Structure 1
Amino acid sequence: MSGAALGLEIVFVFFLALFLLHRYGDFKKQHRLVIVGTLLAWYLCFLIVFILPLDVSTTIYNRCRHAAANSSPPENNSTAIVTPVPSQHPCFKPWSYIPDGIMPIFWRVVYWTSQFLTWILLPFMQSYARSGGFSITGKIKTALIENAIYYGTYLLIFGAFLIYVAVNPRLHLEWNQLQTIGIAAANTWGLFLLVLLLGYGLVEIPRSYWNGAKRGYLLMKTYFKAAKLMTEKADAEENLEDVMEEVRKVNESIKYNHPLRKCVDTILKKCPTEYQEKMGRNMDDYEDFDEKHNTYPSEKSLVKLHKQVIYSVQRHRRTQVQWQILLEQAFYLEDVAKNETSATHQFVHTFQSPEPENRFIQYFYNPTVEWYWECLLRPWFYRILAVVLSIFSVIVVWSECTFFSTTPVLSLFAVFIQLAERTYNYIYIEIACFLSIFFLSICVYSTVFRIRVFNYYYLASHHQTDAYSLLFSGMLFCRLTPPLCLNFLGLTHMDSSISHKNTQPTAYTSVSMARKQNSLSL
């Protein structure tokens, strides 16, 4: 089984990231580079979360093996101090043991690839996808200008820091120390954002499940969402009409033999089908343009119009799909409210789906089972789950406030891991580590999926997320996951800088061990 668990999790996490990306993105309509970039970012972040428990169990085994090697008494020194080895629990290999040398290389590849994505590639792709240029060269130029302005501020601050170090005779800065400062700055930014997102998720996730048990609350909340979405839907339709009117004017003014006609054709391809047909019928392609008597839009104005068309069409399509989904949810919640008083214990739908349902699922999830689940069991299940998640949230808050205490150990995460480490119960260690970091990840990642920054960043399900939001989510995941893992290792006292013990660190920590030493020397 050596290395088999690592290979299985690598494959499983890939399909998990692919499934989630398929739920939010549209593989058919979005650019392949956007799909590949977002998939790689999500995949690497999820991979860290799933592989880190294996790294912890392997590290604990290596510590035991190291202690056993150093505990044998020397041949010619009978007075030497001997470190006792636990006889009841010998150092046997865990089922998921990863051979030496694999994990450090694996973490270096994953870590530096994710950092390259979040700080260089994804911002460039984000500007490229949002650009309204008509050629690859024009989009690249726009992306370079936007990123130059964005990173110019960072370079200005970094240049001022270098000047301060250069004029200070007591400081001597080397390349490794610059690397340390860059990593520390990135982790500091990620930790600051992690505190906000994690704090929101620790409260919102248990509360959402507790409120999910209240049928009346859910129905009223759905009505409120429907009223809000109706306003947004009307605004999106009005905005689309205005943009299409601008496209119609441009389409009528720029004729077939105008140099910018190719740009107009590109804009028309992004318009909905009904507008394309309407504009095609009202256009006379055989009328020559007169450059002297007519005023034609510039290429810069067409680029701006192209960007507006992409945004308005995407927003209109998203609101239409969400409106249909929200109506189905409202109708279903109304059916649940009506069936709660049913004497026959048979769930009856007001609107039957015209599509044929899966017979296998329909056989087991029949109207009787559906009634017992929706009207009787589901509210209690959600309440119990909310209580369990609330307990997890309290444990996280307590451990975050007390993880610095090593004598006595107050962090409950560290207590559980150290108890399992004494008996070398690797299965328990991996399960406890996975549940802990998985809960932390759910609190952080679910907040990323819930965030909505006006209409620029919005992760919408059912394939309605635009390229800009997908790439931005990949950037957030890559910036949040390394600080999240360092926080987890600190909570469990697996990080030697927290536990203050001269023990072998995890492979994930050893990747940054040299950088920590350099930062201390600085």
Structure 2
Amino acid sequence: MPVFWRVVYWTSQCLTWLLLPFMQSYARSGGFSITGKIKTALIENAIYYGTYLLIFGSLLIYVAVHPEWHLSWYELQTIGITAANTWGLFLLVLLLGYGLVEIPRSYWNASRHGHLLMKTYFKASKLMTEKADAEENLEDVMEEVRKVSESIKYNHPLRKCIDTILRKCPVDYQEKMGRNMDDYEDFDDKQNTYPTEKSLVKLHKQVIYVVQRHNRTRVQWQILLQQAIHLEDVAKNETSLSHQFVHSFPLCEPAGWFRRYIYTPTVEWYWECLLKPWFYRLLSVVLTLFSVAVVWSECTFFSTRPVLSLFAVFIQLAERDYNYLYIEMACFITIFFLCTCVYSTVFRIRVFNYYYLASHHQTDAYSLQFSGMLFCRLTPPLCLNFLGLIHMDSAISHQQKLQTAYTSIMGSMRVLSFIANGFYIYYPMLIVILCIATYFSLGTRCLNLLGFQQFMDDSEMTSDLIDEGKELIRRERRKRQRMEDGENRRRRALHSSCWTSLGVHVGLFISWFFEIRRQSLKRSLYINSLHLPLRAAVI
């Protein structure tokens, strides 16, 4: 196990401190070659690496000048682990304090259809503004690309860079620019001012960014529109006496055996209008109890006599009875809840449009790598914090117990005692302040004061954006209704034309049948008329 943990730990540390920051710059670079992207990434990460080397050097000097310490490779390794975990614990408490309150509250609010619908209207208003801004930025950048593409002809040395930029543009813009291009023109005979490769690299980076943002807002708008229509349908069906869920646009709903035989309109009505709100409320209460237990344990896990940490009490009770299955289940559920609170907060973080995790495959490479980097930094201190909660870290509990494999590679943090005995024990208590601030939405209120609109029930700005979003959804609903009516008329026309065509074919078949009968009757009468004289002569 120690070997396994060393491989996992140092691999994740190499990813988060070396490889992923480099790959972030590489993915965001607008270079046209691998060499150019590597060069850009190295330059951008020079300051980043220098900052962390300065921090590590300061800790190294502090340990080196201490008269009681003699540096060895093991102690140097422990200093590096301590520095990384200290930074990770700082982030961990911030994110955990938000998630412990926001996750139970989000499920409670999800049980309130009215609140959820108002929030969806608010999101629609903000997203439409972002969508219009993204379309405007795309038009401006495409216009610049068009001018550069027209100035650099096919025999220019930088034409291959222009072709690379054009391949990143939307298809309709590519077709427009392709129609305006001349077949061949010598650039040496003109006195034009041609762009440099450096400016083309910058333009390439802008094209990648604006196209990705435009696609993201377009997809998110369609998803949000579908969610708003569904919530409006739920609000309408709540008063239905037939207990049958009726969709406003049945043609847009996915059809399959699941909806046909299992998730029928009756089952859907009972789930959406009756059972789902109560299920979310019950889940919110359970998660609230877990959050209270975590906050209490974070503030009391350093107390070993008496044992005040609830998770430590549960584990020690199972330890006395040698109930290993219970220990496994308790540890799994606790770690799963802690990871959910921390990582869900990472998913909610949005730093303007620089870092933003969007659903339905609309996240850019930079944001994905940034989230992976955060996960690598948060997981080791999260595991160490959990071991402290259940009193399995001897450096914190001060008990003479057999160390776990994980704490053995951490060096128990005893090289830097002011961190092991101070920061690691008392800093998690700040989670109480963070939970109180999150409960009263202090961060949201501050952002509203700074001009960044956030959803709040008691804000006048929020009500204005809600009304605007409601009008946008109503307009999109009318547009979709016209499209569905047109589709229904087309289907009815096609249906009637099919029946008309069938009737015509049946009529033609009947006419053909009677025509054959008539022809055969005439032929038989003619033959009989020929046979009568012969029969008379014979007689």
TM-score calculated relative to the size of structure 1: 0.78
Aligned partner of 1:402 among 289, 300, 325: 300
Give, in whole Å, the separation in 1 of the partners of 2:202 and 2:175. 23
Change (3 A) 1:516 1:339: same
Query: Structure 1 residues 163, 487: closer, same or farther in 2, change over 3 A?
Result: closer
Counterparts in 2 of 1:521 and 1:304: CA distance versus 1, 3 Å: closer
Q: Is the 8 A contact 2:60 2:79 kept in 1?
A: no
Query: Equivalents in 1 of 2:303, 2:239: separation in Å?
Result: 55
Could you tell me which amino acid in structure 1 is paired with residue 413 of structure 2? K
Q: Given residue 92 of structure 2, which amino acid in structure 1 is its aligned partner?
A: L
1:176·1:518 contact (CA, 8 Å) conserved in 2? no
- What is the CA–CA distance in structure 2 between the aligned matches of 1:425 and 1:159, rounded to whole Å? 46
Q: Which residue of 2 aligns with 1:269?
A: 167
- In the TM superposition, what are the counterparts of 1:478-517 in structure 2 within 5 Å? 478-513=376-411, 516=413
User: Cα deviations across residues 205-244 of structure 1 (Å, max 9, x unaligned)?
Assistant: 0000111111110101000000000000000000000000
C-alpha displacement at 1:149, in angstroms?
Answer: 1.8
Q: How does 1:358-373 map to 2 (within 5 A)?
A: 358-373=256-271
Question: 2:74 aligns to what?
Answer: 176
| Residue of structure 2 equivalent to 1:84 | none
Find 2:340's aligned residue among 442, 460, 483: 442
CA distance change for structure 1 residues 202 and 318 in 2, over 3 Å: closer, same or farther?
Answer: same
Give me the whole-angstrom Cα distance separating, in 1, the residues matched to 2:84 and 2:42.
Answer: 22
- 2:236 maps to 338
1:148 aligns with 2:55: no
The counterpart of 1:212, out of the listed 95, 100, 110, is: 110
Q: Against the structure 1 CA distance between its residues 167 and 213, is the aligned structure 2 distance closer, same or farther, given a 3 Å change threshold?
A: closer
TM superposition shift of 1:498: 2.4
Change (3 A) 1:162 1:359: closer
In 2, the alpha carbon distance for the partners of 1:442 and 1:205 equals: 9
Partner residue, 1:91: none
Q: Provide the rounded CA distance (Å) in 2 between the counterparts of 1:111 and 1:490.
A: 18
* Cα offset, 1:176, TM superposition: 2.6
Instruction: Provide the aligned C-alpha RMSD in A.
Output: 1.8
Counterparts of 1:219 and 1:381, CA distance in 2: 18
2:91 is matched with: 193
| CA displacement at 1:500 relative to structure 2 | 1.9
The answer to whether the Cα contact below 8 Å between 1:127 and 1:146 also exists between their aligned partners in 2 is: yes
- What amino acid is the match of 1:448? V
Alignment pair present for 1:127 and 2:127: no
Q: Secondary structure at the match of 2:188?
A: coil
Cα distance in structure 2, aligned partners of 1:507 and 1:162: 26
Give deviations 1:246-272, integer Å, cap 9, x for gaps: 100100000111111111100000000
Q: Deviations over 1:289-324 (max 9, x none)?
A: 137611001110000000000000000000000000
Q: Offset at 1:181?
A: 1.4
In the TM superposition, what whole-angstrom CA distance separates every residue of 1:108-139 from its partner, at most 9, and x where no partner exists?
11111111110111111111000000000000
From 224, 231, 245, the equivalent of 2:122 is 224
Q: TM-score, normalised by structure 2?
A: 0.75
CA shift for structure 1 position 178:
2.2
Contact 1:345 / 1:371 at 8 angstroms: preserved in 2? yes
Q: 1:61-460 residue pairs with structure 2 within 5 A?
A: 103-160=1-58, 162=60, 172-290=70-188, 293-354=191-252, 357-460=255-358
Contact map agreement 2:395 2:413 (CA 8 A) in 1: no
For 2:418 and 2:347, how far apart are their aligned partners in 1? 40
Mark the CA change 1:160 to 1:239 in structure 2 (over 3 Å): closer, same or farther: same
Q: Deviations over 1:453-484 (max 9, x none)?
A: 10011111101010000000000000000000
Per chain length, whose mean CA-contact separation is higher, i.e. which structure has more relative contact order (CA < 8 Å, sep 6+)? 1
Q: CA deviation at 1:509?
A: 1.6
| Consecutive unaligned residues in structure 2, runs of 5 or more | 420-539
Comparing 481-490 with 497-506, greater Cα deviation is found at 497-506
- Please give the alpha-carbon distance, in whole angstroms, between the structure 1 residues aligned to 2:54 and 2:418: 25
CA contact (8 A) 1:131 1:143 kept: yes
TM-superposed deviation, 1:503: 1.4
Aligned AA (1:184): T
Could you say if the C-alpha distance between residues 407 and 447 of structure 1 is closer, same or farther in structure 2, counting changes exceeding 3 Å? Answer: same
Change over 3 Å in CA distance of 1:258–1:452 after alignment to 2: same
Letter in 1 for 2:371: S
- Structure having the higher Rg: 2
Residue 290 of structure 1 aligns to a residue in which SS? helix
In 2, Cα distance between equivalents of 1:158 and 1:250: 47
Deviation at 1:353? 3.6
CA offset at residue 497 of structure 1?
Answer: 1.7
Whichever structure has more helix as a proportion of its residues is 2
Paired residues of 2:307 and 2:313 also in contact (CA < 8 A): yes
1:465 maps to 363
For the 8 Å contact 1:414–1:493, the answer to whether it is kept is yes
TM superposition shift of 1:105: 1.9
Report whether the alignment pairs 1:474 with 2:372. yes
Shift of residue 168 of structure 1?
6.7
Question: How far, CA to CA, are the matches of 1:518 and 1:221 in structure 2?
Answer: 50
1:35 match: none
Measured against aligned partners, the alpha-carbon deviations of 1:2-60 in whole angstroms (never above 9, x if no partner) come to xxxxxxxxxxxxxxxxxxxxxxxxxxxxxxxxxxxxxxxxxxxxxxxxxxxxxxxxxxx
Paired letter, 1:236: A
Q: Which residue of 1 aligns with 2:512?
A: none
Instruction: Judge conservation of contact 2:16–2:373 (CA < 8 Å) in 1.
Output: yes
Q: What letter corresponds to residue 462 of structure 1 in structure 2?
A: H
> In 1, distance between residues paired with 2:183 and 2:58?
59
Code of the aligned partner of 2:272:
E
Question: 1:174: how far off?
Answer: 3.0
Deviation of 1:153 after TM superposition, in Å, equals 2.2
Query: Relative to 1, partners in 2 of residues 1:442 and 1:521: Cα closer, same or farther, differing over 3 Å?
Result: closer
CA distance in 1, matches of 2:83, 2:76: 11
Q: Judging changes above 3 Å, is the alpha-carbon distance between structure 1 residues 258 and 167 closer, same or farther for their aligned structure 2 residues?
A: same
Alignment check: 8 A CA contact 2:22 2:45 kept: yes
Give me the whole-angstrom Cα distance separating, in 1, the residues matched to 2:68 and 2:389.
36
Task: Report the CA distance between 1:151 and its aligned residue.
Answer: 1.1
Aligned partners of 2:254 and 2:284: how far apart in 1? 35
Give me the whole-angstrom Cα distance separating, in 2, the residues matched to 1:389 and 1:162: 43
Distance in 2, Cα, partners of 1:461 & 1:326: 11
Find the residue that maps to 2:362 and give its secondary structure: coil
Q: Deviations over 1:141-186 (max 9, x none)?
A: 0011111121112223444555566667665433332221111111
Structure 2 Cα separation of the partners of residues 438 and 115 of structure 1: 22
Counterpart amino acid of 2:392?
M
Contact 2:56 2:83 in 1 (8 A): no
- 1:177–1:519 CA contact under 8 A, matched in 2: no
| Identity across the alignment (%) | 81
Shift in Å, 1:354? 4.3
Residues 353, 117 of structure 1: CA spacing in aligned structure 2 closer, same or farther, 3 A cutoff? farther
Asked whether the equivalents of residues 339 and 347 of structure 1 are also in contact (C-alpha less than 8 Å), the reply is yes
Unaligned 5+ segments in structure 1 are 1-102
1:280 corresponds to which letter in structure 2? Answer: G
